[in-house]
Amino acid sequence: MKSTFTIDDQRLIIKSYRSLLRACKPIIKKDSLKEIRKAFQFALDSHGNDRRKSGEPYIIHPLEVATICAREIGLGTKSIVAALLHDVVEDTSATLEEIEEMFGPKIAEIIKGLTKVSGLMGKSTSEQAENFKKILLTLSDDVRVILVKLADRLHNMRTLDALPQQKQLKIASETTFLFAPLAHRLGLHAIKSELEDLSLKYTEPHVFHDIQSKLEESKAQRARLIRKFVQPIEQTLEQLGYKFTIKGRLKSIYSIYQKMQKQGIPFEKVYDVFAIRIILETAPSHELEKADCWRVYSVVTDIYTPNPSRLRDWISTQKFNGYESLHTTVMGPSGRWFEVQIRTQRMDEVAEKGFAAHWKYKEGDGQHGSMGLEEWLSKIRELLESSDAEALEFIDDFKLNLFSEEVFAFTPKGDLITLPHGATALDFAFEIHSDVGAKCIGAKVNQRIVPLSYQVRNGDQIEIITSRNQKPHEGWLDIVVTAKAKSKIKASLKEEKRKVSMLGKDYLKLKLDKTKLGFDNNMLSRLAKAFHCKSVIELYYQVGNEQIDKASLSRAIKEIDNQAKQGQAPATLRKKKKNQVPQAEQGDKKATEVLLVGGDSIGLEYHLAQCCNPIPGDHIFGFITSKEGIKIHRTNCSNGPSLMSKYGYRILRAKWDIPEIEHITFHPVGIKIIGIDSPGIVSSVSQIISKELKVNMKSISFRAVDGAYKGTIVLEMQDTEHLEELIAKLKMIHGVETVQRFNNDDELGISG
C-alpha cells in the first residue's frame, strides 16, 4: 500500500517510536527489542494510512499506549507487544491466527481479551458493560489484559478533544465510573489521579479550569511554604545519617474538588492541597523499612505538632492494593496543616506502578509479594467463574470490590478478614466460606449478639452462628454489599427457584394428565398467558410456591377446557397490569440531534430530573428513560456517571434554549449557608433574597450550634446567572463563611 503520510507525519511516527524505545531501555533486555520492532512494523503495515479523529496517523495511538505500559506501569515485553497490536484485529484485516503464528499464543490471548465485543449486544445492554465484563473474564488467565486496557483508556482520555461533546461525556463518565476505581484497585495511583482529572475536565470543564488556574496562581506561595516546612526536617535527617529524598506533591484537581464538595467549602478553604513525601533509601527488608519509617515519623512529630486523628499506618497492615506508607498531618509554619507521607523507595515504586512493581519485588524477595492483590484477584476470579448475571448487574456487583475504604475484622481463632467499608456480619460469614454464609442465622461481635445487618468495624472479632435448616432468601440481597456474597445468594436463590419450579412442573403434569388437554407446550403457553406469567418456567415457579393456588389452577384448566370445546380464545384470569411504556428508542437520527431545552426544535417531550433539578445555564444532558420519556440531568448530577457509562446509547446531547423575557420560568434550587452565628443573620439573608433581589423562597431553615450556624434554603431561580448573583451578594454578609448550591436537591426534599 502506498503511504499517504506527509514528512511531518513520518517524523511524528519516528519520534513516538524512539520515545517507546527509550521507555523500554531500563526494563527490557536488549534481545527483546527485536520482538518490539517486529510488532511495531506489523502494526504499522496493518493500520496502513488510517488516521484518528484528531487527524494524526493511527499508529501513534498504539505507540503511545505501549509507551505508557513501559514507562508509567513498568510492564515487560509481552505487554508492550500486545499494546502495539491491541487494535489490529478489531480495526484491520489482521486475524488472531496471524498474531498467534507471528508472536505466539500468549500474545494472541492478550489481544483476544483486548478486542472489543462487536455485534453481540442489543439496545437493552450497555456495550461498554459487556466489553468490560469480557476484559475481566480474561483476568483468570492474565491480569496484563486489564493493565494494557488501562493504558489504552489513559491515552484515549489524553486525546479526547478530537471527539464530539456527547462522546466526550460518555467516555469521561465511564472512566470515572469504572476505569479510575480499577486503576486505584490495582495500585496505579498516578494513572488513577490523571484519569479522574481528565474526566472532570470534560464533565465539568468550568470547575476543572477554575481549580487549575487557582493552583497556578498560588504556585509561588506554595513553593515558599514547602521550603520553609521542609528545611528543619532535612537538617535533622542529615544529622542522623539518613539517605532520602523529599518531594512536594500537589493533590489532584479531582481530589481537591471532591474535598470542596464533601466539606462544602470554596477552594481557598482547602488547606491541604499539597502533601510532603519523604522517600528513604532503605534496603528492601520489611523490618528495616518499618523501623526507619517510624523513626522518621518521630523526627517529623518532634519538630511539628501532629493531628492525632490523622495518623494512617499502612505499613503494619498494607492497603488492599499493596500500598504501604505512613501518613500523618502536622501543624506547620503560618498555621497551615501539612500532610506528610513517609515511605521507602520500594514502597514509592509500588505506590506509583502498582501491580507491575509488586511482581518485580516478589521475584527478588518473597517477603514483598502482593498478597493483598492476589487475594483480591482470587476473589474476582471466583466471582467471574460463578456469575452468569447480565452485564450491567455484574458491573454493579463488581464495582463493590473497587472502593478504597476497607475494614479489618477477626475470626474467633484470630484469622484476619478484610472487607469493604459498609460490609455486614452476613458479608463476613460469606467471606469465611459460602456454606457458612448460606447457613448463617446470626452473629456475635465481641461476644455480643448482633443482627445480620450489623456493619463491621475495624478490630471486631466475629463469631458466626449457623443452622442446618437455614437457607438464603431475597431479603439478604438488601443486607450484603460484597460481590461474593451477592453472587452466592443469587446462585442459591436461582437453585431454590429451580427446585420449586420442578415441584410446580410435576404438580401441573399430574393435574393435566387427568384431563384430555394433555401436558404439551400449547396447553402450558395458554395457562401461562392466563395467569400473566412471562414464561412457562415462571408458571411452574408460581404453581410450586403456591402463588397460583390449586383452586385457581383448577378453574383455569376447566375454563380452557370449555373454551377448547367451544373453539373460543382463552380469557385472562387476572386483571391486567397497566401496560408499561415501551423502552424509548429514538433511533440513530434523533440520537445525534441536540435537544433544545426550553425550545421545540425537534419536538421531543422532556422533563427536568428531580434528582438534580437543572436550571438554565447548567451544563446538561438528556436521558431516554423506559417509562417517563426524556429526563434532563445536570452533567454533575450524582446519577450522571452511572447513567452515561451503563446506558450510553440512551444519552442525548442537550442545551438550553433560553426563552424570551415574557416566557421566563422559575426552577427550584437548594443552597446551604454556613457561618458564625450573630444577631440578625437570618434577617440579613432574607432581606437580600426577598427584598433586594425579589427571589421567592419555598422554604428556609437555620440551625445554630455552639456559635456556628447552618442554613438551608429552597429558592425559585431563573437561571445560573441569577443564582450566581444571589450567591455573590450573600457571601458579602458579615458572618457568612460559605454559600453553596446543593448538588443533589434530594437532600432538601425538593423532589418530594
- Give the pLDDT confidence score for residue 210 in this predicted structure: 93
Q: Predicted confidence band at 297 (pLDDT cuts at 50, 70, 90)?
A: very high
**Cα(497)–Cα(495) distance, rounded to whole angstroms?**
5
Give the DSSP letter of residue 696.
E
pLDDT at 191: 92
Q: Are 442 and 449 in contact (CB under 8 A)?
A: yes
Q: Work out the pLDDT band at 571, boundaries 50, 70, 90.
A: very low
CATH topology of domain 373-485: Ubiquitin-like (UB roll) (3.10.20)
Task: Of 109-123, 187-201, 307-321, 408-422, give the range with the top mean pLDDT.
Answer: 187-201
Cα Rg for the chain, rounded, in angstroms? 31
| Position 344 pLDDT exceeds 70 | yes
Q: What does the DSSP 8-state code read for residue 436?
A: H
Coil, strand or helix at 597: strand
- How far is the C-alpha of 742 from the C-alpha of 98, rounded, in Å? 56
Residue with cell 508509567: 72
H-only helix segments in 616-659: 640-646
Choose among 417, 412, 397: nearest CA to 457.
417
Residue 602 confidence (pLDDT) above 50: no
Question: Which has the closest alpha carbon to 430: 386, 487, 495?
Answer: 487
pLDDT on residue 455: 92
Residue scoring higher pLDDT (669 or 28): 669
Q: Match 416566557 to its residue by C-alpha cell.
A: 663
Strand bridging mode 594-597 / 651-656: parallel
Q: What's the pLDDT band for 579 if we cut at 50, 70, 90?
A: very low
Strand, coil or helix: 99 = helix
pLDDT at 667: 81
> What pLDDT band is residue 590 in, cutting at 50, 70 and 90?
very low
**Per the structure block, which three cell numbers stand in for 186?**
490495582
- What span, in angstroms and rounded, lies between the C-alpha atoms of 85 and 20? 14
What's the CA gap between 99 and 89, in Å, rounded? 9
pLDDT tops 50 at residue 284: yes
Superfamily of domain 7-211: Hypothetical protein af1432 (1.10.3210.10)
Q: What is the CATH number of domain 216-369?
A: 3.30.460.10
Distances (CA, A) of 27 to 22, 33, 357, 660: 10, 11, 11, 64
- Which residues does the annotation mark as catalytic? 90-91
Question: What are the two backbone dihedrals, phi and then psi, of residue 644, each rounded to the nearest 5 degrees?
Answer: -70, -35
pLDDT tens profile 411-468: 888 887 888 888 999 999 999 998 999 999 889 998 888 889 999 988 889 999 998 8
Please give the backbone phi and psi of residue 31, each rounded to the nearest 5 degrees, phi first: -70, -15
Percent of the chain with pLDDT over 90: 26
> pLDDT: is 156 or 394 the higher one?
156
Give yes or no for a contact between 661 and 602, defined as CB atoms under 8 angstroms apart: no
Cα–Cα distance for residue pair 432/442, rounded to 1 Å: 14
CA 200 → CA 157, 578, 632, distances in Å? 11, 41, 20
CB-based contact 410:417 (threshold 8 Å): yes
Q: What's the mean pLDDT when you consider all of the chain?
A: 80
Q: What's the N-to-C CA distance of the chain in angstroms?
A: 64
Which residue type is seen at 352? Answer: E
Strands 337-344, 274-280: pairing is parallel
Residue 582: is its pLDDT beyond 50? no
Q: What are phi and psi of 666, to 5 degrees?
A: -115, 145
For the ranges 117-131, 162-176, 223-237, the lowest mean pLDDT is seen at 117-131
Q: How many CA atoms lie less than 13 Å away from 613 in the CB half-sphere? A: 25
CA distance 427 to 442: 12
User: In 3-state terms, what secondary structure has residue 623?
Assistant: strand
Which residues face 331 on adjacent strands?
A: 305, 337
Cell numbers at residue 430, please? 460469606
Query: What is the sign of the dihedral through the CA atoms of 395, 130, 375 and 436?
Result: positive
| Residue positions counted in the chain | 752
Residue 61: which of 144, 172, 174, 156 has the closest Cα?
A: 156
3-class secondary structure for 348-412?
HHHHHHCHHHHHHHHHHCHHHCCHHHHHHHHHHHHHHHHCCCCHHHHHHHHHCCCCCCEEEEECC
State the pairing for strand pair 416-420/312-313. Answer: unpaired
Amino acid at 120: L
* 300 vs 186, higher pLDDT: 300
Are the C-beta atoms of 349 and 283 separated by less than 8 Å? no
The conformation of residue 461, written as its DSSP 8-state character, comes to B
198-252 residue pLDDT tens: 999 999 999 999 999 988 888 888 888 889 999 999 999 999 999 999 988 778 8
At 598, is the pLDDT very low, low, confident or very high (cuts 50, 70, 90)?
low
The model's pLDDT over 14-49, given as tens digits with 9 standing for 90+, comes to 999 999 999 998 888 888 889 999 999 999 999 988
Q: Would you kindly state where each structural domain of the chain is located, as residue ranges?
A: 7-211, 216-369, 373-485, 491-557, 587-662, 666-748
With the C-alpha atoms ordered 233, 239, 242, 243, is the resulting torsion angle positive or negative? positive
Q: Which residue has the higher pLDDT, 61 or 316?
A: 61
pLDDT higher than 70, residue 280: yes
Q: What is the pLDDT of residues 356-407, one digit of tens each?
A: 665 555 544 434 444 455 565 666 566 555 555 555 556 665 655 554 467 8
Fold adopted by 666-748: Alpha-Beta Plaits (3.30.70)
For residue 131, what pLDDT is reported?
59
Number of other CB atoms surrounding residue 448 within 10 Å: 8
DSSP string for 701-751: EEEEETTEEEEEEEEEES-HHHHHHHHHHHHTSTTEEEEEE-SSGGGGTTT
- State whether residue 177 is helix, strand or coil: helix
Supply the pLDDT for residue 376.
58
